[in-house]
């Protein structure tokens, strides 16, 4: 999972806007970051390991000249893939960054190698770039036609998810999205009088809402070219059934963002409402009916807070903030390994003792993936004197790996895989666990389940996941 940004402007350098957009996307990746810009003569590239604010300063941003540029924050989903984006290739003068994951990367790189095209990093963004260049170089026609043709051929070969921003040196800006629209991708324009002054593309609306006037989503399988005069060319190149990642609404995206026309905050409130309905129809509700004054509802911050507040409002229980997470450590789920995730909980998540002591805590979480976070937090809450802790998840049980950009690569690491509800309760220490269903999740998002990627829940992957490619 990553965050991307791309801006082309008529009047001003874009480096500062890209920088601030990356800060607003920092929740999507905390390992690496990079910015590429270009003016009429030169290219400028700065990238490295760490947070956006650690890599860039005023001096570096001043050096990133030009009215057109792209940027990315990275959270590696595969071992060894630590290289920062964007990537640039002199042949063709193309810079590129993407959000997603290429499943058949090994086969693609082998075919590129057979054509004397080599990748020098462990990052799949370079694979997409080199493949795009291969087709771009072989295409004929205008730069725009060559971009559209190359992107369509990339879509026919790449198995996985990808939202792509690119700069075509001396020509314009180009973006495209995979045919299923698995990863989010939005764009908008800024008007000055009757003319467009700026176009901006990003993984989430929060990154560009202060740059543009209106925001819409890039269509599934669509390519968009914007020339240096800001004339826009749009074309759906290869469209398939939309399969938008449900985890964007559940966890990844910020509450202030909107995806596919749905407010993230509103969707998470809907999830809380659905959980409240399930609880009020359960034996647990009957058992605790005479202990209302002892029950408090709490969120595992920050993602599940809208659901928690709505849950409390529906059940008429008190909502309380009981956990304080060190705001400087970033998101626990996207830490690169289990050891780090456990240490973050031990050292950086604190429980407010006087709020939980002698209380029955209803703990709302966005999801239960490995169970590490849940187990550590429940243990801490009980150590501070809570009588019971009941865990509610706004996501159904995750039982299958993700191959499209979420760091859940194997079944064995998933707590719900091949385990009963009782097994999960015993592992986490919860007195009970309540999951939402797939239908309730889809209803809360406002899209039919057939329009969502639910592979980690039901094993139905939107792409073939084939590793064999005969030729380019």
Q: Which residues are catalytically annotated?
A: 2
Integer Cα distance of 52 and 85 in angstroms: 12
State the pairing for strand pair 262-263/258-259: antiparallel
Angle CA 211–245–34, to nearest 5: 45
Detail the DSSP E strand segments found in 305-358. Answer: 318-319, 323-325, 349-351
φ, ψ dihedrals at 189, nearest 5°: -130, 155
Detail the DSSP E strand segments found in 369-447. Answer: 388-393, 432-435
225 neighbors 174 (Cβ within 8 angstroms) = yes
Question: At a CB cut-off of 8 Å and minimum separation 6, what does 386 contact?
Answer: 356, 357, 358, 359, 360, 361
Q: In what order do the strands lie in the sheet with 172-177?
A: 87-89, 94-102, 160-168, 172-177, 222-227, 232-236
What is the 8-class DSSP label of residue 326? -
What is the 8-class DSSP label of residue 337? S
């Amino acid at each position: 999972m990553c965050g991307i940004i791309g801006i082309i402007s008529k009047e001003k350098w874009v480096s500062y806007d890209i920088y601030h957009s990356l800060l607003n996307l920092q929740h999507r990746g905390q390992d690496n970051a990079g910015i590429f810009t270009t003016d009429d003569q030169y290219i400028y590239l700065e990238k490295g390991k760490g947070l956006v604010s650690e890599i860039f300063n005023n001096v570096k941003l001043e050096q990133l000249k030009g009215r057109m540029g792209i940027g990315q924050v990275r959270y590696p989903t595969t071992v060894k893939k630590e290289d920062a984006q964007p990537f640039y290739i002199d042949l063709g003068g193309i810079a590129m960054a993407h959000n997603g994951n290429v499943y058949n990367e090994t086969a693609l790189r082998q075919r590129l190698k057979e054509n004397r095209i080599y990748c020098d990093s462990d990052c799949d963004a370079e694979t997409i770039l080199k493949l795009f260049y291969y087709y771009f170089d072989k295409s004929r026609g205008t730069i725009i036609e060559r971009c559209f043709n190359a992107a369509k051929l990339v879509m026919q070969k790449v198995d996985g998810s990808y939202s792509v921003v690119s700069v075509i040196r001396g020509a314009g800006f180009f973006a495209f999205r995979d045919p299923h629209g698995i990863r989010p991708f939005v764009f908008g324009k800024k008007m000055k009088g009757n003319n467009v002054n700026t176009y901006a593309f990003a993984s989430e609306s929060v990154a560009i809402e202060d740059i543009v006037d209106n925001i819409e989503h890039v269509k599934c399988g669509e390519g968009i070219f914007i020339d240096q005069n800001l004339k826009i060319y749009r074309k759906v190149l290869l469209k398939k059934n939309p399969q938008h990642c449900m985890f964007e609404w559940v966890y990844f995206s910020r509450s202030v963002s909107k995806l596919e026309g749905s407010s993230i905050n509103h969707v998470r409130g809907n999830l809380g409402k659905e959980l409240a309905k399930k609880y009020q129809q359960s034996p647990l509700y009957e058992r605790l009916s005479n202990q209302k004054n002892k029950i408090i509802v709490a969120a595992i911050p920050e993602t599940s807070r809208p659901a928690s507040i709505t849950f409390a409002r529906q059940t008429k229980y008190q909502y309380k903030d009981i956990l304080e997470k060190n705001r400087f450590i970033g998101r626990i789920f996207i830490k690169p390994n289990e050891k780090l995730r456990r240490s973050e909980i031990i050292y950086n998540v604190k429980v407010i003792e006087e709020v939980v002591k002698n209380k029955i805590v209803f703990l709302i979480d966005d999801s239960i993936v490995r169970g590490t976070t849940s187990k550590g937090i429940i243990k801490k809450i009980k150590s501070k004197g809570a009588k019971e802790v009941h865990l509610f998840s706004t996501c159904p049980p995750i039982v299958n790996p993700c191959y499209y950009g979420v760091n859940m690569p194997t079944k064995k690491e998933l707590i719900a895989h091949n385990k009963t509800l009782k097994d999960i309760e015993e592992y986490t220490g919860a007195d009970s666990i309540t999951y939402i269903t797939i239908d309730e999740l889809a209803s809360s998002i406002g899209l039919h389940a057939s329009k969502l990627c639910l592979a980690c829940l039901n094993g139905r992957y939107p792409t073939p996941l084939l590793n064999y490619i005969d030729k380019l």
